[in-house]
Amino acid sequence: MKKELERDKNHLYFWKKQKKQKDKDEELYKAALQAFFKNELENDKTILNLSIAAIGFFMALFVNKKFQITEIMFITSTIAV
pLDDT tens per residue across span 26-78: 888 888 878 777 777 777 888 888 888 888 777 777 777 666 666 666 666 67
How many whole angstroms from its chain centre is CA 23? 24
Count of Cβ atoms closer than 10 Å to residue 77 Cβ: 14
pTM metric for this prediction: 0.40
Note the helical H segments in the chain. 2-63, 71-80
Do 61 and 76 meet the contact criterion of CB atoms below 8 Å apart?
A: no
DSSP-based three-state secondary structure for 50: helix
Give me the pLDDT at residue 14, please: 74
> What is the count of structural domains for the chain?
1
Rounded-to-integer distance, Cα 12 and Cα 20, Å: 12
The whole domain housing 67 covers: 2-80
Give me the pLDDT at residue 62, please: 76
